[in-house]
Structure 1
Amino acid sequence: MPAIAPAPAARPPATVTTAAGHEPRIATLANGVRLACVHVPQAETASVSVFVRAGSGHESKLTSGLSHVVEHMVFKGTATRSAERINLDAERLGAEVNAHTDKDHTAFHMRGLARDVSGFIAMLGDIVLAPSFPEDEFERERQVLLHEFTEDEDDPVSTAFKLFDHASWGAHPLAQPVIGTRRNIERFSRADLVNHVQRQYGGPNIVVAVAGPADVDTLTRDVEAAFGAAPALAPNTITTPTFGGGIRSKAMPGSSQSHLVMGFAVPGQQAGDATAAVAAALFGEGMSSPLLGELREKRGLVYYAAASADVLDAAGQFVVEASTAPAQLDECLTELARQLALQAERITPVDLERAHNQLLVRRLRALEEPARRLESAALDLFIHGRARSLAEWRDTIAAVDGERVRALFQRMLAAGPALAVSGKVPRGLRERVRTLLAAQGLRCD
């Protein structure tokens, strides 16, 4: 079957930016493809990831789930290699191969011995730019995808998050689940996959990220050889959605717990504002946080609860998730609303100090993990056009004081949340939830 990549041609040289300390060096090819090189001289292994700015947030209703299908199918054959050959070529080198799809990107990973890094780049270039999407492999993989869809559909926690996204973003693409819909998985054709790659896999939508002992000049030549023929496409973007809110619920037979997800709109990464990240760490990270300290440690209302700032380039969500017994759901939501309201009144210095230090430790640990370090650099390049330094990140976090956090809680509570409950759902949930949240001054239309 024909390859998707165009024939190679003479190309101008790449441009390379300098970097200080442990920050990645960036090289940009003439077609807009970028290399992010994290030099780890002492490493015996190397990690190579290809990030493509194509995810469920870039899809229409008719193409929902297509990025995820392509992620599966690129491993099923290229213009020169079968699926069996792809697997063998990686595994005979001892390499780990993986991939994932998110709302804002798709990524393909290989990790193995540092001496094989050039081969990893070449192999990833082959599967990303020249997938053949054989029909027989597609029909087999379609069944695998449908099994995955059924598992996801039966998971009450995943269901709660999908309901929450729909309450948050309505008909916007960010509300669509990465896995798509059953109907789309059943009807997608090979032509849909080919068209997706041709429209989205190229230019500034691709970042090749490498962590290991190889130098940037050598890696740039490898990336040029593997990705230099990619088309110079326009950058993919996601429009900023309008936050909706309200309550969604779904009872799921066989579930004995109630799973809730509550959240609020916060600015996207383009705003360069770290307040939501600090607020989430302050509210729900660690047993001394208000969320876990009150709901779990003092009241025994939950086993698991967490707060996070899920921030994409165009929009963000401050998210609280928890699982509780159905009989304790009312008390859990009441106490959750009360704790949120307390943060809008006052942020204690010790809580702010804890949040700052927890974020710092998390960031430093991420710098020690190649996969997370590469993803951070790639997403920075997609969103900001550059890889932010640790010093810049520290300054951004340090600038978030207690007043900024308190003001964010005030704005979130005034605007009202989106709330989703799945699993064991008590009767009359919506009206009862509106009433008990209103008693805490929290509107949930």
Structure 2
Amino acid sequence: MNVRTTRLENGLRVVTDTMPHLRTAALGVWVEAGSRSERPEQNGITHLLEHMAFKGTATRSARRIAEEIEAVGGELNAATSVEHTNYHARVLAEDVPLAVDMIADILQNSAFDEEELAREKHVILQELGAAHDTPDDKVFDQFQETAWARQAIGRPILGTRETVMSFTPDDLRTYLADHYRADNMVLAAAGAVDHDALVELARDRFSGLSSKASPDLAPAHYTGGTGRIERDLMEVQLVLGFEGQPYKAPDYYAVQVLASVMGGGMSSRLFQEIRERLGLCYAIYSFHWAFRDTGVFAIHAATGEEDVAKLFPALMEELAGAAAGIAQDDLDRAKAQIRAGLMMSLESPAARAGQIARQLMIHDHVMSLEEIQKRIDKVTLDCLKRVAATTFATVPTLSTVGPASVVLSADDVAQSLGHRLARAVGA
């Protein structure tokens, strides 16, 4: 890795990973503002702002933005998450100045035209409708809302029909001024990019950013509980979760490895036992979502209505079995999967730009591959056993979308799993 970082006078951080063998560059601005930054009446404004950034500035129309980047064969896009928003481009090396200029323009000079806003609200309502009609999307929204009840971190990124329709151009300008500050933004680039040249471009194009401190986030508190949506479906979508770890927690990498061991691929414990041996579902995997001060370990499964009653006891047995002990082969395989994923990400300039931006925001420095590998290597079987036992003993979160006959609750999970954990750990 060839990583360099510079902080500009106004607080904006510029980070690059030069990849000399490439002739293209991936670059963008990552902002420490996501749906978690919103007040209840603002739910969905971060996502709407991301859309509106491409709908015209003081000097470029929406059409000109699209035509200008595509005239050089480039791509320009954006994405909103719970804690971050990013605006990114992929261009040839010689077109990096154009990409920087365009991103700087849409972030500092957006027009927020009334007619464009009305059209984009309609587009987002279509997105909301599509998510509502997709059970495997809806179950995750329900899960997040249940895991962090009555908190910004638990609200949907898209917002609601009512909040989206309420936003005005002035609302967007106020939110932009409050949250898009130099101190919480990172300009990251990877590929065919010169660090010093990018710093000079950033100093010129982003000079208008405010250097005032950004608002503090309210702390998140994992709550757990039951979220159920009744639908007349042939299938049941479910997500079962437990309290996880924040990014900087000592056990962060241990829970990441645990998620890979339990349901990280076709060779994982959950897939082999529940999907392959018992045939109780057609899809099952586990994951760990980490945030600044909270996290969740969870399992997603999709199964038939008639198989739910058998699926849950089998799932409880696998979770308790992990707390009792995990085989060395499982640990080695999980570490190899994570290691390969890291190496593969280094070969993609777009993935690498996002990775170094997020690491700079989370850790205030870019972690080397060796540093990450050392942290993964420290995860032992005893460590996994301890982390599994403590994680699965936390308050469960259970979210289901499906027929009314599915009436399992988080309390049912806690009672069933608690007995099995006591027996397994005590054995």
TM-score between the two structures when normalised by the length of structure 2: 0.95
Query: 1:6 — aligned with what?
Result: none
Query: 1:10 — aligned with what?
Result: none
1:157-185 CA-partner distances (Å, limit 9, x unpaired): 12111121122111121101111111100
Counterparts of 1:424 and 1:92, CA distance in 2: 50
SS at match of 2:227: strand
Alignment of 1:106 onto 2:85: yes
Question: Which structure 2 residue ranges, 5 or more long, are not aligned?
Answer: 423-427
Q: Which moved more, 1:187-196 or 1:42-51?
A: 42-51
- Is the 8 Å Cα contact of residues 156 and 259 (structure 1) preserved in structure 2? yes
Match of 2:246 among 236, 246, 268: 268
**Given residue 437 of structure 1, which amino acid in structure 2 is its aligned partner?**
S
Query: 1:287 — aligned with what?
Result: 266
- Give me the identity figure in percent: 32
Question: Structure 1's 229 and 433: CA in aligned 2 closer, same or farther, altered over 3 A?
Answer: same
Alignment of 1:67 onto 2:56: no
**Given residue 87 of structure 1, which amino acid in structure 2 is its aligned partner?**
A
Query: Alpha-carbon deviation of 1:430?
Result: 3.5
**Given residue 99 of structure 1, which amino acid in structure 2 is its aligned partner?**
A
- Is the 8 Å Cα contact of residues 398 and 410 (structure 2) preserved in structure 1? no
Question: Which structure 1 residue ranges, 5 or more long, are not aligned?
Answer: 1-21
- Is the 8 Å Cα contact of residues 330 and 433 (structure 1) preserved in structure 2? no
Query: 1:81 — aligned with what?
Result: 60
**Given residue 351 of structure 1, which amino acid in structure 2 is its aligned partner?**
D
Query: 1:251 — aligned with what?
Result: 230
**Given residue 269 of structure 1, which amino acid in structure 2 is its aligned partner?**
Y
Query: 1:322 — aligned with what?
Result: 301
Alignment of 1:32 onto 2:26: no
Query: Alpha-carbon deviation of 1:416?
Result: 2.9
SS at match of 1:240: coil
- Is the 8 Å Cα contact of residues 389 and 421 (structure 2) preserved in structure 1? no
Counterparts of 2:37 and 2:411, CA distance in 1: 37
1:168-210 CA-partner distances (Å, limit 9, x unpaired): 1111211011111111001111111000111111212111111
SS at match of 1:38: strand
**Given residue 394 of structure 1, which amino acid in structure 2 is its aligned partner?**
Q
- Cα root mean square deviation, aligned: 1.8
**Given residue 243 of structure 2, which amino acid in structure 1 is its aligned partner?**
A
Q: Which moved more, 1:236-245 or 1:412-421?
A: 236-245
- Is the 8 Å Cα contact of residues 199 and 233 (structure 1) preserved in structure 2? no
Match of 1:178 among 148, 152, 157: 157
1:26-51 CA-partner distances (Å, limit 9, x unpaired): 11111111111110111121111111
1:44-93 CA-partner distances (Å, limit 9, x unpaired): 21111111111011111111111000000010011111111111111111
The alignment of Structure 1 onto Structure 2 pairs a total of residues equal to 421
Query: Alpha-carbon deviation of 1:413?
Result: 2.0
Question: Structure 1's 438 and 265: CA in aligned 2 closer, same or farther, altered over 3 A?
Answer: closer
Question: Structure 1's 282 and 291: CA in aligned 2 closer, same or farther, altered over 3 A?
Answer: same
1:344-369 CA-partner distances (Å, limit 9, x unpaired): 01121111111111110011111111
Query: Alpha-carbon deviation of 1:306?
Result: 1.1
- Is the 8 Å Cα contact of residues 267 and 315 (structure 1) preserved in structure 2? yes
Match of 2:182 among 199, 203, 209: 203
- Is the 8 Å Cα contact of residues 65 and 184 (structure 1) preserved in structure 2? yes
Q: Which moved more, 1:199-208 or 1:189-198?
A: 199-208
- Is the 8 Å Cα contact of residues 17 and 190 (structure 2) preserved in structure 1? yes
1:3-14 to 2 correspondence within 5 Å? none
Query: 1:309 — aligned with what?
Result: 288
Query: 2:312 — aligned with what?
Result: 333
Query: Alpha-carbon deviation of 1:320?
Result: 0.7
Query: 1:16 — aligned with what?
Result: none
Query: 1:364 — aligned with what?
Result: 343
- Is the 8 Å Cα contact of residues 28 and 34 (structure 1) preserved in structure 2? yes
**Given residue 335 of structure 1, which amino acid in structure 2 is its aligned partner?**
A
1:8-37 CA-partner distances (Å, limit 9, x unpaired): xxxxxxxxxxxxxx1421111111111111
Counterparts of 2:375 and 2:304, CA distance in 1: 39
Query: Alpha-carbon deviation of 1:432?
Result: 9.6
Counterparts of 1:382 and 1:438, CA distance in 2: 37
Question: Structure 1's 213 and 300: CA in aligned 2 closer, same or farther, altered over 3 A?
Answer: same
1:368-416 CA-partner distances (Å, limit 9, x unpaired): 1122211111111111111111111111111111111111111122223
Counterparts of 2:349 and 2:101, CA distance in 1: 19
List structure 1 segments (4+ residues) > 4 angstroms apart after TM superposition: 431-436
Alignment of 1:94 onto 2:73: yes
**Given residue 354 of structure 1, which amino acid in structure 2 is its aligned partner?**
R
Counterparts of 1:90 and 1:73, CA distance in 2: 17
TM-score between the two structures when normalised by the length of structure 1: 0.91
Query: 1:150 — aligned with what?
Result: 129
1:392-411 to 2 correspondence within 5 Å? 392-411=371-390
Question: Structure 1's 370 and 214: CA in aligned 2 closer, same or farther, altered over 3 A?
Answer: closer
Counterparts of 2:415 and 2:101, CA distance in 1: 58
Question: Structure 1's 300 and 228: CA in aligned 2 closer, same or farther, altered over 3 A?
Answer: same
